[in-house]
Structure 1
Amino acid sequence: MIEARILERLAALLALVALAFAAPVAAQNATSDRIAVELVAEGAPQPGETWMLALHFTPSSAEWHGYWSNPGDAGLGMQLDWDLPEGWQAGEPLYPLPQRLVIGGLMNHVYEGDYAVLVPITVPKGAAGAQSAPIGVTASYLACTDTICVPQRAALSLDPARAGGDPRFDRWRAEVVPPLDSGAQFEFTPTHLRIGVPVPAATALREPHFYLGTAQLGEGDRPRYAGQQRFMREGDLVVVEMPIEPFAVPPGVELAAEPRPQAIAGILDFGAGRGVRFTAVPGDVPLEGAEPLGGSGEPVLWRLLLAALAGGVLLNIMPCVFPILSLKALALAKAGGDERAARRDALAYTAGVVVACAALGAAILLLRAAGEQVGWAFQLQEPAVVVSLFLLALAITANFLGLFEIPGMAVSGGSPSQTGSFSTGLLAAFVATPCTGPFMAVALGAALVIQPVHGLLVFTALGLGLALPFLLVGFVPAIRRLLPKPGAWMERFRKWMALPMGLTALALAWLVWRIGGGEYLVLVLVLGAVALGGLTLVGLFQRKARSGALILGASLVAVLGLGTALLPRPLAYASPGASLLDPVVYSEAALADARGSGNPVFVWFTADWCVTCKVNESVAIERSATRDAFEAAGVVALRGDWTQPDAEISRMLTQQGAAGVPLYLWYEPGGEAEQLPQVLTPDLLVEKARASARPR
């Protein structure tokens, strides 16, 4: 796609060069039949002052549009060749605020309808002013519709002696984007151009967008004009992050490495027709204290914290977390009415959960600061972590079945153990990482781009939400009184809770197979059998000696250490399974091709360890009704499998503000990405496809 864009630009440029050698038309208003242009003066020139001229463009019909100085992914900016008296100088053209036009995944910066570009002319002090010789300019520009582009050329002249004021200049001046009266700075990250623009805090940013004026970024990078931009704010500073990508070149072609520019020009569009133009210089762009802009342009940290808290609460109903929470609550109920013990135990459990979530969040933020593309549950992309989780799930299942006891978790263990409760909290948070929910997506996605301290607060709020139900059980006696009275049924309930944990262990075994294949799974199962054998022996010792905590801990450490030392790293990974939608494997090039086809596009990002992903696939994606609706509407489906690390998928997740999977994107023809809910209803995709198939 990028090579095609290069060829398109070269073709248009050659056409303009060819026209440049054609015989010029010597007339006051030499125009084409697509977009007419006239040269207009604000008044008579005065020696020693700036004389303002305007190039006023008028399309012949509404389908034609012109271009800003940087046209974006396609098109050409206007070129002006001036013929001025000696000593007169033409300044840089001043443009009105452009518009965005996205066609086939390419974004162009255009003007629809009539518009004027102002050009300041410096008149020297000794000039004759209105008695000077006529001036001339040849304007080369491009006129386009959504399907065709036609090079335009106009040779214009103006006699200063006959120049008079034009009442339209007041409107044209008002439409020119005003300059920023303070300096902006820019810096590059591996994936983004980051610019700090001083904007008063009182300025509302409704729908901000950054128009990049400097197209050449150097070091083999190019801007992704259609990529999602991120905006953050701290007081009077607005931070813009525009995605960039390496410039793709054909095999065998080498491009000279160009240095980074010493200045970046652009326009910050505030929305509602307002904006400022500026030129940024290299410098540090701080993110400390910067918070993402919501739809109203105001900081939304408190909303992110509430979303993370709610998302953490919902994690408690996941099949791998719910049994742990249930048995901890029953163990607390069995402990009796000791208020102090109940609260200590609840605080210990909460501390374990919060510490685990905060530590995981800190690790993610540190790795991202170092340039790594990681997100929520990134540790599950490591085979050793998945194997460890599988062994832990086996151990918890064995505990629920009564093969051995874990202090602080066993229903029959008397008073809850604070040490065991802290460990249980760590475990509950760790096994919950494969899951994301409706509230978590926005919160964790924003946590990766806001100030690191605030991002850590979001992860901490997630942990607090995960621990909140058990915290309430420990601190609210009325809730504990609602729990059933202790009895023999608790032992039976405990064994029933082995079922969801056993299913979790089976799911992790399947993930091990997906990661490393059949032989790798056999090795892990052998290790699991050794672990179960050791835990059974621990249980026998516990039933005889009424202890065994030390032996239990040593056994678990020994098994995990043995597995880490002896298990090889998988050399190959299982390919994604078959799908009713027959999706294309996601890549940035594949997405660009799909969007360029003119058809609706559906992209889903999934992972084998993502429980929510698999539920959505069974409920909404892998359905014959969805397949039929997609075929009728011509929807192109792409699937990105993030079971193992993938830099392109990570970049897309970051650009979309998502901390992890699932992520579902819908592209209407020529439109930008629409994020669908993280929990899909059965008919959502069918309805989207049918809506796209209707005549517009």
Structure 2
Amino acid sequence: MLLVAGWAGLLHAQSMPEPGDGAGNNIAVQLLADGPPVAGKHWTLALHFTPKSAAWHGYWANPGDAGEPMRLQWALPKGWNAGDPRYPVPQLLDIAGLANYVFEGPYTVLVPIAVPEGADVANAPPISLRLDYLACTDKICVPERAKLTLYPGQAKSDARFDQWRADIAPDLDRKASFAIEGKQLRLAIPLPASADVPSPHVFIENRDLVSYSAPQSFHRKGNFLLADIPLGAGDAPQTVTGILKLSDGQGVRFAADPGVVPSGGTVVGASAAGLPSVWWALVGAFLGGLILNIMPCVFPILSLKALALARAGGEESGARRDALAYTAGVVLACLALGALMLALRAGGEQIGWAFQLQQPAVVVALLVLAVAITANFLGAFEIPGIAISGAAGSGSGSFATGLLAAFVATPCTGPFMAAALGAALLLPWGEALVLFGALGLGLAFPFLLLGFVPPLRRLLPRPGQWMVTFRRILAVPMALTALALAWLCWRLGGVGFALAGLAMAGLIVFGLSLFWNPALKTRRRSAASVAAIAVAVFALAIGMPKLVHPPGAAESDVIAAQPFSQAALAKARASGKPVFVWFTADWCLTCKVNERTSIEREATRVAFDKAGVVPMVGDWTRRDPEITAFLTQHGAAGVPLYLWYPAGGGAPQQLPQVLTPSLLESLAQGTAPGTGGSARPEAG
């Protein structure tokens, strides 16, 4: 098709043929009227195109990746005016990866003519039209021209007009809404829920606004059809117009203004165009889980896996059993967390991924686990399947380790699989759960390989006394994890809540050390440990909720940011100043790293002050339905999320989830790469 475009350019550069009536062109054209004109009313003319063979096609108002729209030059009686051409629903023609919006076979374009009051239609001078258009096959394009004439007083009705009118895409009686989020154009097109939409496709009339060949995804939500279309190279418009194809030859014409486009809904149009996005989401989920193995926030859990891998260096069956048990634990935990999140959202709860870390009781439970694992590594007690003894692996211990790894590690997935998790919030339950399963499989994949590939397993050092020392060393990152969780308890519930959590953890560890201490007799250690654990659990369930008194929002160290709310954001944007909004949480390591390295910097503050930037922060440490809804609108399942609103209005730019130190300074100075002095939408 590149040759097609080249031919078109070459032929345009050559001399045009002499104007004719269009009858002998590769696509012949006729100018016809729907009867004689009437003064003071609209009169409809038709441009009827007839290809000389099935190989030739013409183009819609927006031709797509290649081609040219027709150009009309009217010579009308004084006071008469021609309106915009009205087209049938075009067809999508893909040639060599280029998507073209075309008409194959005969087609008709209608043009309304406004006839003024008092016009002498019987003696009106002739109407002439010079029409330039492109006729193409899949191998060559030929620019063609026709000079057409019509005498209004002699015009007769054509019986085909009824069918031609039926072929034209009718206008919707309500405005649609559009929003640019990341690298997606999102549309909410009003369409009754009862309307059948077997094979939807949106033909956007704005040139270069969208990627013509990219797959489009569709959801139904009430009386709206929601469309997500990857952006092209065009600028953000004030209005988006186009034709929504409902089925072959059937569609509606719409106009969309900027507005809120809801998320969620039921997937429609199960065609090949929608499948790549699901498959890419699966790949993203798997890679997100795989990369998660090297994230710093997951290092304490990697220590557990390292101990299990060393144990698996023994017999073949034990290694495979451990690998399968660990994988089952990881995948089951991811599926359970995903299913719980989807169920709560279906029930009306505004929650997102990593919602478990917004619950004080869950964080206390993780704190108890971290303290217990630290004590285990230090030798305070030995639990079969977790302790290092050099014996055969324990399937139950590996399964429990997988559960714990996934439960603690999943909040770190944001930077690597935001698109996949955002898709999971929109897909049906079955497909969404497959995404969560792919995340778990990616997280468990290295351990699975070591369990089933003996050469890889032979690279591990032999079990020995070194493992005891190694276990003591691994107590350090686990202790640091416990301290981080204690800090999070303070952020969620205050000082009293954090101290109570540490006390409960200590009491439970004391009970475990009694229960698993072989120096004590069974009856004695059982009674003591059960009593201690019972007291701890009772206090945790009954007493600690009363201690929850969250401290005030953390103040920015350098940037004087105001708390986020929809009203505050609207007010800031109305001021005409640039606005930077970031969404964070105390339990999000990526968020904290970005804040330390790129946001809370003196250089950033100075650049913001000079540009008059309004900084705004959304703290998602605790549940906040307004923030959750805002994240969902922008296709984000969790934090971090960074949005830059340019001065004077316009669509926001979604920044990468891993910021560079100079990015915000460059945006404030209007010199960010690709912005040309003003922010343009792009995804991170």
| TM-score interval for Structure 1 and Structure 2 normalised by the shorter chain | 0.5 to 0.7
Q: How many Å apart are 1:550 and its aligned residue?
A: 12
Match of 2:476 in 1: 499
Q: In structure 1, which of residues 297, 300, 303 is the aligned counterpart of residue 280 of structure 2?
A: 303
Match of 1:254 in 2: none
- For residue 559 of structure 2, give the secondary structure of its aligned residue in structure 1: coil
Match of 2:644 in 1: 666
Q: How many Å apart are 1:303 and its aligned residue?
A: 0.8
Matches within 5 A, 1:320-399: 321-399=298-376
- For residue 397 of structure 2, give the secondary structure of its aligned residue in structure 1: helix
Cα separation, 2, equivalents of 1:337 and 1:575: 51
Cα separation, 1, equivalents of 2:549 and 2:319: 49
Cα separation, 1, equivalents of 2:330 and 2:616: 36
Cα separation, 2, equivalents of 1:325 and 1:553: 31
Match of 2:509 in 1: 532
Q: 1:170 to 1:52 in 2, by over 3 A?
A: farther
Q: How many Å apart are 1:534 and its aligned residue?
A: 1.9
Asked if 1 retains the 8 angstrom alpha-carbon contact of 2:244 and 2:254, the reply is: no
1:179 aligns with 2:164: no
CA deviation digits over 1:93-128, x for unaligned, max 9? Answer: 99899xxxxxxxxxxxxxxxxxxx97699xxxxxxx
Cα separation, 2, equivalents of 1:471 and 1:449: 30
Asked if 2 retains the 8 angstrom alpha-carbon contact of 1:268 and 1:275, the reply is: no
Cα separation, 2, equivalents of 1:394 and 1:610: 20
- For residue 640 of structure 1, give the secondary structure of its aligned residue in structure 2: strand
Match of 1:277 in 2: 252
Match of 2:668 in 1: 689
Asked if 2 retains the 8 angstrom alpha-carbon contact of 1:354 and 1:464, the reply is: yes
Match of 1:566 in 2: 543
Q: In structure 2, which of residues 203, 211, 217 is the aligned counterpart of residue 232 of structure 1?
A: 217
Q: How many Å apart are 1:519 and its aligned residue?
A: 2.1
CA deviation digits over 1:495-544, x for unaligned, max 9? Answer: 11111111111111111111121222222222222123223323434787
Cα separation, 1, equivalents of 2:534 and 2:243: 56
1:582 aligns with 2:560: yes
- For residue 568 of structure 1, give the secondary structure of its aligned residue in structure 2: helix
Q: How many Å apart are 1:169 and its aligned residue?
A: 11
Q: How many Å apart are 1:361 and its aligned residue?
A: 0.7
Q: 1:336 to 1:536 in 2, by over 3 A?
A: same
Q: 1:604 to 1:178 in 2, by over 3 A?
A: farther
1:52 aligns with 2:31: no
Asked if 2 retains the 8 angstrom alpha-carbon contact of 1:349 and 1:467, the reply is: yes
Asked if 1 retains the 8 angstrom alpha-carbon contact of 2:380 and 2:513, the reply is: yes
Match of 2:461 in 1: 484
Match of 2:21 in 1: none
- For residue 643 of structure 1, give the secondary structure of its aligned residue in structure 2: coil
Asked if 2 retains the 8 angstrom alpha-carbon contact of 1:668 and 1:692, the reply is: no
Asked if 2 retains the 8 angstrom alpha-carbon contact of 1:308 and 1:458, the reply is: yes
- For residue 433 of structure 1, give the secondary structure of its aligned residue in structure 2: helix
Q: How many Å apart are 1:577 and its aligned residue?
A: 2.5
Q: 1:655 to 1:532 in 2, by over 3 A?
A: same
Match of 2:586 in 1: 608
CA deviation digits over 1:12-58, x for unaligned, max 9? Answer: xxxxxxxxxxxxxxxxxxxxxxxxxxxxx9787469xx95379xxxx
Q: In structure 2, which of residues 556, 580, 603 is the aligned counterpart of residue 625 of structure 1?
A: 603
CA deviation digits over 1:431-456, x for unaligned, max 9? Answer: 11332243211110111112221111
1:406 aligns with 2:383: yes
Cα separation, 2, equivalents of 1:594 and 1:177: 47
Q: 1:179 to 1:518 in 2, by over 3 A?
A: same
AA in 1 matched with 2:444: A
Asked if 2 retains the 8 angstrom alpha-carbon contact of 1:665 and 1:675, the reply is: yes
Greater Cα offset, 614-623 or 326-335: 326-335
Asked if 1 retains the 8 angstrom alpha-carbon contact of 2:494 and 2:550, the reply is: yes
- For residue 240 of structure 1, give the secondary structure of its aligned residue in structure 2: strand
Q: How many Å apart are 1:402 and its aligned residue?
A: 1.5
CA deviation digits over 1:627-654, x for unaligned, max 9? Answer: 1222222222110001112122111111
AA in 2 matched with 1:622: E
Asked if 2 retains the 8 angstrom alpha-carbon contact of 1:437 and 1:679, the reply is: no
Asked if 1 retains the 8 angstrom alpha-carbon contact of 2:329 and 2:402, the reply is: yes
Greater Cα offset, 403-412 or 327-336: 327-336
Q: Which runs of 5+ in 1 are unaligned?
A: 1-40, 55-91, 98-116, 122-133, 137-156, 210-229, 244-265
Matches within 5 A, 1:450-529: 450-529=427-506
- For residue 441 of structure 1, give the secondary structure of its aligned residue in structure 2: helix
Cα separation, 2, equivalents of 1:506 and 1:292: 50
Q: How many Å apart are 1:167 and its aligned residue?
A: 4.9
Asked if 2 retains the 8 angstrom alpha-carbon contact of 1:316 and 1:466, the reply is: yes
Match of 2:573 in 1: 595
Cα separation, 1, equivalents of 2:130 and 2:226: 35
Q: In structure 2, which of residues 226, 229, 239 is the aligned counterpart of residue 241 of structure 1?
A: 226
Cα separation, 2, equivalents of 1:269 and 1:291: 16
Match of 1:449 in 2: 426
1:642 aligns with 2:620: yes
Q: How many Å apart are 1:480 and its aligned residue?
A: 1.3
Paired residues in the alignment total 510
Match of 2:656 in 1: 677
Match of 1:429 in 2: 406
Match of 1:253 in 2: none
Q: Which runs of 5+ in 2 are unaligned?
A: 1-31, 46-82, 89-109, 134-160, 177-186, 208-214, 229-240, 256-263, 679-684
Q: 1:644 to 1:171 in 2, by over 3 A?
A: farther
Return the TM-score normalized by structure 2: 0.64
AA in 2 matched with 1:657: G
Cα separation, 1, equivalents of 2:196 and 2:113: 26
Q: How many Å apart are 1:614 and its aligned residue?
A: 1.0
Return the TM-score normalized by structure 1: 0.63
Match of 2:11 in 1: none
- For residue 605 of structure 1, give the secondary structure of its aligned residue in structure 2: strand
- For residue 445 of structure 2, give the secondary structure of its aligned residue in structure 1: helix
CA deviation digits over 1:248-291, x for unaligned, max 9? Answer: xxxxxxxxxxxxxxxxxx96569xxx9953699xxxx9725667
Cα separation, 1, equivalents of 2:337 and 2:297: 18
Q: 1:419 to 1:667 in 2, by over 3 A?
A: same
Q: 1:551 to 1:446 in 2, by over 3 A?
A: farther
Cα separation, 1, equivalents of 2:172 and 2:205: 22
Asked if 1 retains the 8 angstrom alpha-carbon contact of 2:491 and 2:550, the reply is: no
Identity percentage of aligned residues: 49
AA in 1 matched with 2:338: G
Asked if 1 retains the 8 angstrom alpha-carbon contact of 2:591 and 2:639, the reply is: yes
Q: How many Å apart are 1:324 and its aligned residue?
A: 3.2
- For residue 665 of structure 1, give the secondary structure of its aligned residue in structure 2: strand
Cα separation, 2, equivalents of 1:619 and 1:379: 27
Cα separation, 1, equivalents of 2:514 and 2:466: 26
Matches within 5 A, 1:543-558: none
Cα separation, 2, equivalents of 1:371 and 1:501: 36
Q: 1:553 to 1:318 in 2, by over 3 A?
A: farther
1:657 aligns with 2:635: yes
